[in-house]
Structure 1
Amino acid sequence: MIDIKEGTPQLAASDIGDSSGANNEVVLLATYDDVKVRYQLYLDRYIDQCMFRADAYDRANRVWNELWSIPQRTYRYPLEAADKMKVTDPTSPIIADPDSSPNTAAASWQKIINALTQKVFEVLG
């Protein structure tokens, strides 16, 4: 079994793409006990159009199968100035919006990767 702290992929500012189109997509890959896992975060200006999921690769059929996804409404974007301070708080449901700087986005969206990793470990046993 992989220690969740050591096995959790770390999101870096360099993983954050250009958000000039009002959305951002992040893909991270990891391997746990010989299972390839793909993390996908799609962040849109509208939270209802976001996607947060982890998929496992099925080598026999050469397809990605969803392991876990997090409903969009689990998180929300800052509504007021005071909320902006909470985007990097790992216990807060407030996340950085796609227009945030890459450093802020990476620090904020890491909480989504952490939540997905916890569920991936539960599913994979």
Structure 2
Amino acid sequence: PRVLLTTDVNTTSIRSVHFTLRIGSKSVTSSCPPPDSLLEIVLLEATCHGGVNWTLLEEFSPLHFQQPRSTTVTLPQSARGPVCQLRWRQPQHSGHGRDVWAIDDIHLSPDGSTNWLEVEMMDMPD
């Protein structure tokens, strides 16, 4: 599977995660071909147990994200704690260079706040 995983994040006071997601493309000239199966979804999951148990927060269908689309997901209580991780995962795809997806502008926010806590993915260790 393809995976994007955050480092450990204190989500105790975080109520939502906001991001922009694109799965494939509607363009016939794009190098980002769309998934050829509805099973090639992207999942957002969370753990506050060191990756032992993952909670599914949301499923994103290729049909609704062929152009960049901003979305907000409310974090349930099970995804809030002092040491948690978020994971975007595409469990099934058609191989290298196929069914590609991109994510950008990830923000974590407490309720009603416009002050974003940004997780800079470029600074994450390999």
Answer 1 or 2: higher relative contact order, Cα 8 Å, separation at least 6: 2
Q: TM-score, normalised by structure 2?
A: 0.34
